[in-house]
Structure 1
Amino acid sequence: MNKKVVVCLLLLIIVTAGSGCVSEPVTSDEGVNSMDLEEIEGLWLGTLQVQGGMEVRLLFNISSSPDGSVSATMDSLDQGVKGIPVEAVTYKDKKLHLDVKSIRGSFEGTLKGDGKTIEGEWKQSGSVLPLVLSRIDETPDTRKEQDPVKPYPYDEKEVVYENAEAGVTLAGTLTLPRSEGPFPAVILISGSGQQNRDEEILGHRPFLVLSDYLTRRGIAVLRVDDRGVGGSTGDFSQATSEDFAGDVLAGIEYLKSREEIDASRIGLIGHSEGGLIAPIVASSSPDVAFIVMMAGQGITGEEILYLQSDLIFRAEGIDNETIARNNALMKSMYSVIKEEQNDTVAAEKLRKLLMDEVANMSEEEKKNSGYSEDVLEAQVNAQVQTLISPWMRFFLTYDPVPTLMKVKCPVLAINGEKDLQVPPEENLQAIEEALKAGGNKDYTVKELPGLNHLFQTAETGSPSEYAKINETISPVALELIGDWVSEHTAITD
């Protein structure tokens, strides 16, 4: 799961889905003399050192049009987001200003004498970080080591289908082996937050890697953009895990309509929140032949969030007093969400809790948390809206155990030993006990040594490591999933 609601916020470049648009051109008369343009035109790359030891590479592309207008875009390379509009470009007396209004960010710097370096600062939501941009000739290769390279030894088809009940159009990619069908198939279900079909996160594309691996082993794979992402329609902000389960059911119906797919061998592989959704679907549909839960939950969302924040804070070296304060704040906020169903009243109570907490912070604590006076109201309001969202209200109180007890199809439940977001001990034990109590006769529960929440080989498991690790999914995890699915679909290599 990618959501983490805590008062001590990790500083990240916050971008919105679908931001790959081109900025409106800014005329040279507004801030760039055409004679000076060649000094800043081109590609400029810099690296932010953000809280938690994380590095985020920013790439600015400044260009001109024949009419003399100037435009620019920004890529956040390690977050896999490209084409963020730079709404204003100002350059005068060697000083460059870039305004990225969509994420409340800006860069101000000075071109050095060598003409190849711009030293300055990145500002976002009240935080200020040093940033040095260097001129480069071509866009860096962001492909990870495990990303598959075309041409693929299988067929890849762009598909679109409807969840008619919800009025949502879903777009995705279906990969099909080139051997003789009909094929067993799996639908990949992403974790929380708005995810594209590759479940892209911090430069990694786990579902692209997983689909490639499974398709090479003779299994058809459907991976889909979440509601409101990429080619899919719908309002993500108003949806819950149950709504996403409806989207998966629509995917099953779509696969059943294709002659290349064996309708009796359609399974689900869900990661994180997807591992919660898969049992919901399997318990309600006889068409699900098997499920794989990758870091799926066996306890309530509230329990997970307490464990998650404690483990991540400790991995980042946060002191016990801060952890205790944060835990107390979380309990107060979650009590409001559970007890107050009126969103307006709940929002006011939550806003007061957060504002009181900020008022009691030292200046150093405010700086480290990411809060700032000039945008405090906006930051608090954004957090409040997340807390009272339909998704959070459902997630906090949903107990997966009764649903797991109804799942009768084969289940593979796996977690990484170093998973700090969905801790393995508590969740795997609860999953196993629920499956056993429900009379499931075919389940495998396994903790994988040394792997984190993304199933990467990790040192601490902290989310701050995700982008630094070149591995997208451990070969151990891939092989375990591949072998288990092949065994349960009667595929022999």
Structure 2
Amino acid sequence: MKNFSTFLISFCISFSVFAQPSPIEGSWYGLLKVQGMEITVVFNITQTDDGLKATMDSPDQGAFGIPVDKISFESDRLEIAIPSGMIVYTGMLKEDIVEGTFTQGGFELPLDLSREKPEKTAVKRPQDPTEPFPYHAEDVYFRNEKADITLAGTLTLPKKQGPFPAVVMITGSGPQNRDEEILGHRPFLVIADHLTRNGIAVLRFDDRGVAESEGDFASATSWDFVTDVEAAVSFLRTRPEIDRAHIGLMGHSEGGIIAPIVASRNPDNVGFIVLLAGTGVRGDKLLLEQQRLIFEVMDMSAEEIERNRIINTRAFEMIQQIEDTEILKPALQSLLTEKIADSDIPSGLTRDMYLQQLMAQTTNPWMLTFLRLDPAPYLEKVQCPVLAVNGSNDLQVPPSNLQAIEAALNRGGNHHVTVKEFPGLNHLFQECETGAPSNYATIEQTFAPQVLEKMSSWITGITNP
């Protein structure tokens, strides 16, 4: 699902050699401590003839050149506003340090800035594999001719000579690299290492527009990612080390939506699929349940939860009923203007800024596609073996989706289905107490060993009967 605090968009700052220098000019670095993680933030400030200009970088999230819409520096007080990200920063320059507060979406965090790059505290990730590996790994590149882009990834093989059964890994929502890296965890690296050690080849690749892969992630939808996965399958079929009869798909979260679509469209090329917290219901229904569960664990009052449910239900109904985006936008704008109370608006943002951000989040192509996409019709067309697993503490894709997935597969006549709910695991398949996303980073475990064992044994069982 969508990652929290995602920073996107590019910007070009202007510079004039005739502008008078300012004591705030230059690059300022700080560390945000969020959900147990340290996230580097950089403000790049330039003095021009037209005043101060700036951009923000979030290098840990691969985001650079984020436009700063408003910046002022008077009497040693720095103020920065980025409405597109609901971000406000205020601070006081004291010698070589800016002591301030970073606010996003109503959440305030202390953030001091300096001109030197900060050193981050090392995080413990005991499951991360280290070289040398007892298998062959190589960087690979393959074409998606439909999109006219080249995608980059890593192919791991138990040995250089096969043939081996293989898995294409499909990331969840948001811009992800080939390791599906999130909050210091690299679950796809851990999974690929385990599977390859157990005789299964694995192809994992960077999302389009991320890391080494070409393309534009910001404008892409789930349907674009479908073609990327199809290109990955086609690439594996050209490799002599791969058993073409046993190429499978393994999708996490949104990847668990994409995998059945690809399998239904390519029945002769996909031998099995593994769904890690995949969904079985339409996107709007999933998000309503996800919001309720996360709000509850955040100790939001029952009244607030119900009020949010009513507003979101009405907004999602509009999105289902009105297909033309140009007609949808003013209708949705009117609803949000009427229903959003002043108390809902995060500090540092005007009402117009907040509404603008809500509209951008709700009506972008990816979100509209996700809210309208029902995986059930595609699951009904899947005839290959399916393993669907979920954690009992998953608040983002509740385990009730397992029953919906199994029912859809059975309706289509597919009885080669294994579903399993693992107790005490969250959306990332970590052992946990509550499943709250705020705990993902503080949990040292990346991926529960019992799920790794289930996946490798199931794949081995169907590819080597």
Q: Could you state the TM-score of these two structures normalised by the residue count of structure 1?
A: 0.79
Change in CA separation of 1:480 and 1:314 when aligned onto 2, cut-off 3 Å: same
Query: Do 1:32 and 1:91's aligned partners in 2 also have CA atoms closer than 8 Å?
Result: no
Question: Which residue type is aligned with residue 479 of structure 1?
Answer: E
| Partner residue, 1:331 | 313
Q: Distance in 2 between matches of 1:377 and 1:339?
A: 26
CA offset at residue 481 of structure 1? 1.2
* Residues 1:430 and 2:430 aligned together: no
CA offset at residue 187 of structure 1? 0.4
Q: Distance in 1 between matches of 2:73 and 2:284?
A: 49
SS at match of 1:30: coil
Q: Distance in 1 between matches of 2:464 and 2:282?
A: 35
Change in CA separation of 1:23 and 1:372 when aligned onto 2, cut-off 3 Å: closer
SS at match of 1:423: coil
| Partner residue, 1:455 | 429
Change in CA separation of 1:382 and 1:361 when aligned onto 2, cut-off 3 Å: closer
The equivalent position to 2:417 in structure 1, one of 440, 443, 448, is 443
Change in CA separation of 1:45 and 1:395 when aligned onto 2, cut-off 3 Å: closer
CA offset at residue 329 of structure 1? 0.7
Query: Do 2:29 and 2:40's aligned partners in 1 also have CA atoms closer than 8 Å?
Result: yes
Alpha-carbon RMSD across the aligned residues, in angstroms, is 3.8
* Mapping 1:272-287, distance limit 5 Å: 272-285=253-266, 286-287=268-269
The equivalent position to 1:16 in structure 2, one of 8, 11, 16, is 8
CA offset at residue 110 of structure 1? 5.0
CA offset at residue 100 of structure 1? 8.9
Change in CA separation of 1:333 and 1:99 when aligned onto 2, cut-off 3 Å: closer
| Partner residue, 1:401 | 376
Query: Do 1:154 and 1:216's aligned partners in 2 also have CA atoms closer than 8 Å?
Result: yes
Question: Which residue type is aligned with residue 308 of structure 1?
Answer: Q
SS at match of 1:236: coil
CA offset at residue 229 of structure 1? 1.9
CA offset at residue 366 of structure 1? 2.7
Question: Which residue type is aligned with residue 472 of structure 1?
Answer: T
CA offset at residue 316 of structure 1? 0.6
Structure 1: any 5+ residue segments left out of the alignment?
4-11, 64-71
Q: Distance in 1 between matches of 2:380 and 2:99?
A: 59
* Residues 1:478 and 2:452 aligned together: yes
Query: Do 1:237 and 1:389's aligned partners in 2 also have CA atoms closer than 8 Å?
Result: no
CA offset at residue 456 of structure 1? 1.0
| Partner residue, 1:68 | none
* Mapping 1:237-276, distance limit 5 Å: 237-276=218-257
* Residues 1:30 and 2:11 aligned together: no
Change in CA separation of 1:157 and 1:97 when aligned onto 2, cut-off 3 Å: farther
CA offset at residue 267 of structure 1? 0.5
The equivalent position to 1:366 in structure 2, one of 345, 355, 358, is 345
Query: Do 1:58 and 1:74's aligned partners in 2 also have CA atoms closer than 8 Å?
Result: no
* Mapping 1:305-344, distance limit 5 Å: 305-344=287-326
* Residues 1:377 and 2:352 aligned together: yes
Question: Which residue type is aligned with residue 206 of structure 1?
Answer: P
The equivalent position to 1:183 in structure 2, one of 140, 164, 184, is 164
Q: Distance in 2 between matches of 1:130 and 1:239?
A: 34
CA offset at residue 447 of structure 1? 0.2
Q: Distance in 2 between matches of 1:301 and 1:222?
A: 27
Q: Distance in 1 between matches of 2:175 and 2:211?
A: 10
Query: Do 1:418 and 1:453's aligned partners in 2 also have CA atoms closer than 8 Å?
Result: yes
The equivalent position to 1:129 in structure 2, one of 93, 109, 114, is 109
Identity %: 43
Q: Distance in 2 between matches of 1:45 and 1:111?
A: 15
Query: Do 1:85 and 1:100's aligned partners in 2 also have CA atoms closer than 8 Å?
Result: no
CA offset at residue 429 of structure 1? 0.8
Q: Distance in 2 between matches of 1:221 and 1:81?
A: 24
Query: Do 2:38 and 2:121's aligned partners in 1 also have CA atoms closer than 8 Å?
Result: no
Structure 2: any 5+ residue segments left out of the alignment?
45-53
Query: Do 1:159 and 1:174's aligned partners in 2 also have CA atoms closer than 8 Å?
Result: yes
Q: Could you state the TM-score of these two structures normalised by the residue count of structure 2?
A: 0.84
* Residues 1:228 and 2:209 aligned together: yes
